[in-house]
Each structure stands twice: as structure tokens, then as C-alpha cells.
């Protein structure tokens, strides 16, 4: 390929990435809200729901021209929309320049999955099955079509390696998750001072606010027998008042002393808390399936590396957050973005890393 067509293809890769990024934004908004990705077909403003005409929906350009505001209602459009388009465009370009075209196309699919998973997880602490299970299937199919992904010389061998790596990813995290539950089954949080809290039901879920920290009720309960204890100085359940008590919550009911209330009959609980004990999930189930998808595309070494690099990155970010005083006690921390980070590093630098590492292990 001569130089000018190589440059032309690079431009095409970037523009394609920006356009795909724009589509990924739709998925990031709609998938966790269970709105269909192609219905309504047109993008709409999240604030005023006005449909966005195509000339205001050009990737990268429109956000800049409109200065991050909706053209009909003037509401701010999150920087995330621009950021996702730019990130996807740059990653598409980098993949195009790094890899032979067959692998590049497979990695374009993979990177799209990583981007959606990362941004959904950051906002909602979940990774939808369409992304994780769909991604695992996509990885196995891609490995069959492009056996080089698995360093295999036959399609069948690539397919088997991909499926085994997906299984490995799932099983490893499953062990960590179950082990973590035994090691830190629950987490005690002593509040600095008696802190007001509210629990407000809306539909099947509730907002749970302690001091400044707001969270969704459903985030705390992964299993039926999980319980959350709230040591209160005073509490009010709808119109009933209580003094110093421990509220013992299960996902569907709360017990105070000998009394029990079904949460779907309660509208609001409020009071002042001293201490809470939360059932702690090291990871959500989505992370297991997400790592399976990573394995299906990157193979077993990619699985191990993503866990390693993801844990290192997660610890650094977690420690920094603690140091700058942003208290983190939420039951779930998103792990998906860190796994995705590890996967991207592996994709580009994995071979070099292995080479470098084995120089130390077995110097020749």
C-alpha cells in the first residue's frame, strides 16, 4: 500500500471510530435504561426529548459547534458524549496502525464492547448481558474467523482456545468473588458523627442517602440472605417513630426489634445513624462475564494480564481517592473500567510485556 492510501485509510479509521463512538453513546445511554437501541431510531435530547436532526448529530463536530448544549432547549450535553467519540476515534486509529487489517477489524469490535462496558459501569455499576455475553460470543466467532487472534493455525483450535480463555476469565473472578465474600463478608462503616439518612422508595427500588452519599438500594444486595444493619439514634418508618434501635434490612424487608415491615409497603424511612454494616460485594456478577468476553478476544494470557493490570490501576485510583479525602464506602466499586484498561494495555503491548518479563525470568 503506498503512503497516500495508507494516510487515507488512517483518516477513514478515525472518522469511522468517531461515528461508531456516536453510536456507542446511544448504547451507553439506552442499554442500562432498557430502551431499544434502534427505536426510536433518531437520537433525542435526554433533557427535552426533542429528536436531534442529523446535521446536529455529527460525531465530534456537533458537540463543538453547539458548545455542548442542546439546540432546542439549551440543556448541557455531557462532555462524555464528545469524550466517547474522541476516545473511540483515537483507539480505532491506533488499532488500524498497529495491526494487520483482519485483526484490526476484530479489535474494532472488541474496543467498542470495552467502551460501552466502561461507561455504563462507571455510571450504573452494572455491565448489561448484551455487552458481556454478546461480547463473549463475538470474541469466539471472531477467533474462528481470524485464528491469528489466538495465535492458532487452525480455525477450530482458535475457537477452542477462545472458549477456554472465556471460561478461565469467568472462573478466576468467580473464585475471587466467592473468596472475597468469605474474607470480607461485610463491611462496617462507623460514621464520624451521627448522620441523617433517608430511604425513599420509588417503584421497585429506593434511593438511600446517608449524609452526602447517595446510592441505589438494589446496589447493596447481591444475594437473598445479604443484610444491611443500620445502628440508629432515632428512626422513622413512615409514621412510626423509634428511638435507639438497629434497623436490620434485607432486600425486601426491614426488622426493628420484634417488628417487621415489608419494604414494598413502606414509602420513606429516615433518621439519624451512627454506624452501618453493609454486605460487601468485591465485584458484580457482570465483571465475571465481562472478563469472559475479554478472554474470548485476547486469550488466556490477556485474562491474567487484565486482572493484574486492572487491580494495580484500581488500587492506585482507590488509594488516591482516599488520600484526597473522597470517602469511598459504597458497596460496589466498578471494576469493569479497570479490567477494560488492562485489556487495552494487553492488546497493544502484551507481546512486548511478555518478552520483557521473560528476559528476567530466564536470562539467556
Among 12, 19, 26, 47, which residue interacts with Zn ion (rule: CB under 5 A)? 47
* Residue 76 binds to Zn ion (criterion: CB under 5 A): no
Nearer to Zn ion, 72 or 167 (CB): 72
SS3 for 274?
strand
Give the Cα separation of 315 and 309 in Å (integer): 10
Are 282 and 177 a contacting pair, CB within 8 Å? yes
70 binds Zn ion (CB under 5 A): yes
Q: Whole-number minimum distance, CB 215 to Zn ion, in Å?
A: 28
- Pick between residue 73 and residue 122 the one whose CB is nearest to Zn ion: 73
CB of 123 to Zn ion, least distance (A): 19
Is the Cβ–Cβ distance between 205 and 215 less than 8 Å?
A: no
Q: Give me the least distance between CB of 74 and Zn ion, in Å please.
A: 7
Q: Closer CB to Zn ion, residue 72 or residue 218? A: 72
Question: Residue 297 in 3-state DSSP?
Answer: helix
Contact 149, 165 (CB under 8 A): no
Span from 63-71, 109-117, 137-145, 175-183 in contact with Zn ion (CB under 5 A): 63-71
* Residue 90 burial (10 A CB sphere; 0-12, 13-18, 19+): middle
In whole angstroms, the minimum distance from the beta carbon of 71 to Zn ion comes to 8
Q: Which is nearer to Zn ion, 66 or 133 (CB)?
A: 66
Residues 163-202 vs Zn ion: string with x where CB under 5 A?
Answer: ----------------------------------------
Select from 66-74, 178-186, 195-203, 235-243 the region that touches Zn ion (CB under 5 A).
66-74
Report the alpha-carbon distance of residue 134 to residue 210 in Å, rounded: 37
Tell me: does residue 48 bind Zn ion (CB under 5 A).
yes
Closest CB to Zn ion among residues 10, 72: 72
Question: What gap in Å lies between CA 62 and CA 16, rounded to an integer?
Answer: 16
Binding pattern for the stretch 1-40 against Zn ion, x by CB under 5 A and - elsewhere? ----------------------------------------
Assess 73 for contact with Zn ion (CB under 5 A). Answer: yes
Nearer to Zn ion, 70 or 343 (CB): 70
Q: Does 65 bind Zn ion (CB under 5 A)?
A: no
Query: Cβ distance 227 to 248 under 8 Å?
Result: yes
Site size with Zn ion, rule: CB under 5 A: 7
Strands 228-237 and 240-242: antiparallel
Exposed, middle or buried, 218 (CB in 10 Å: 0-12/13-18/19+)?
A: middle
How many CB atoms lie under 10 A from the CB of residue 359? 10
Give yes or no for a contact between 120 and 31, defined as CB atoms under 8 angstroms apart: yes
C-alpha separations of 301 from 88, 98, 168, 344, 351 in Å: 24, 19, 10, 13, 10
Calpha distance 180→280 (Å, rounded): 9
Looking at residues 222 to 281 of the shown chain, list those that interact with Zn ion (rule: CB under 5 A): none
User: Smallest distance, Å, CB 297 to Zn ion?
Assistant: 37
CA-nearest of 190, 18, 37, 175 to 89 is: 18
- Pick out residues in 326-355 that bind Zn ion (CB under 5 A): none
How far is the CA of 265 from the CAs of 118, 222, 261, in angstroms? Answer: 36, 22, 7
Q: How many CB atoms lie within 10 A of CB 250?
A: 16
Query: Among 45, 106, 263, 294, which residue sits at the site for Zn ion (rule: CB under 5 A)?
Result: 45
Of 62-70, 125-133, 199-207, 257-265, the segment contacting Zn ion by CB under 5 A is: 62-70
State the minimum distance, in angstroms, from the CB of residue 28 to Zn ion: 18
CB closer to Zn ion out of 45 and 84? 45
Q: Which residues bind Zn ion (CB under 5 A)?
A: 45, 47-48, 70, 72-73, 75
Amino acid at each position: 500500500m503506498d503512503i497516500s492510501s495508507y494516510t487515507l485509510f488512517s483518516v477513514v479509521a478515525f472518522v469511522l471510530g468517531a461515528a461508531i463512538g456516536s453510536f456507542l453513546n446511544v448504547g451507553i445511554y439506552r442499554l442500562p435504561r432498557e430502551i431499544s437501541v434502534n427505536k426510536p431510531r433518531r437520537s433525542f435530547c435526554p433533557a427535552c426529548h426533542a429528536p436531534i436532526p442529523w446535521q446536529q448529530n455529527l460525531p465530534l463536530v456537533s458537540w463543538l459547534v453547539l458548545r455542548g448544549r442542546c439546540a432546542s432547549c439549551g440543556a448541557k450535553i455531557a462532555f462524555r458524549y464528545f469524550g466517547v467519540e474522541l476516545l473511540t476515534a483515537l483507539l480505532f486509529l491506533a488499532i488500524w496502525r498497529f495491526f494487520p487489517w483482519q485483526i484490526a477489524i476484530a479489535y474494532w469490535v472488541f474496543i467498542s464492547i470495552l467502551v460501552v462496558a466502561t461507561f455504563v459501569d462507571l455510571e450504573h455499576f452494572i455491565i448489561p448481558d448484551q455487552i458481556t455475553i454478546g461480547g463473549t460470543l463475538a470474541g469466539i466467532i471472531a477467533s474462528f474467523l481470524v485464528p491469528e487472534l489466538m495465535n492458532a493455525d487452525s480455525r477450530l483450535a482458535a475457537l477452542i482456545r477462545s472458549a477456554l480463555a472465556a471460561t478461565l476469565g469467568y472462573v478466576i473472578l468467580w473464585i475471587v468473588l466467592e473468596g472475597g465474600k468469605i474474607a470480607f463478608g461485610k463491611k462496617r462503616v462507623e460514621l464520624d458523627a451521627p448522620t441523617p439518612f433517608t430511604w425513599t422508595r420509588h417503584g421497585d427500588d429506593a434511593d438511600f442517602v446517608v449524609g452526602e452519599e447517595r446510592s441505589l438500594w438494589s446496589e447493596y444486595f447481591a444475594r437473598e440472605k445479604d443484610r444491611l444493619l443500620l445502628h440508629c439514634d432515632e428512626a422513622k418508618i413512615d409514621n412510626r417513630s423509634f428511638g435507639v434501635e438497629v434497623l436490620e434490612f434485607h432486600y425486601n424487608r426491614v426488622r426493628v426489634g420484634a417488628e417487621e415491615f415489608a419494604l414494598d409497603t413502606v414509602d420513606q424511612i429516615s433518621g439519624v445513624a451512627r454506624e452501618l454494616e453493609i454486605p460487601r460485594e468485591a465485584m458484580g456478577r457482570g465483571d465475571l462475564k465481562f472478563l469472559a468476553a475479554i478472554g474470548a478476544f485476547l486469550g488466556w494470557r490477556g485474562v491474567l494480564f487484565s486482572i493484574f493490570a486492572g487491580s494495580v490501576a484500581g488500587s492506585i485510583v482507590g488509594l488516591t481517592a482516599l488520600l484526597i479525602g473522597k470517602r469511598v464506602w459504597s458497596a460496589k466499586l466498578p471494576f469493569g473500567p479497570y479490567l477494560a484498561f488492562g485489556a487495552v494495555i494487553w492488546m497493544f503491548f502484551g507481546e512486548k510485556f511478555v518478552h520483557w518479563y521473560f528476559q528476567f525470568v530466564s536470562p539467556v
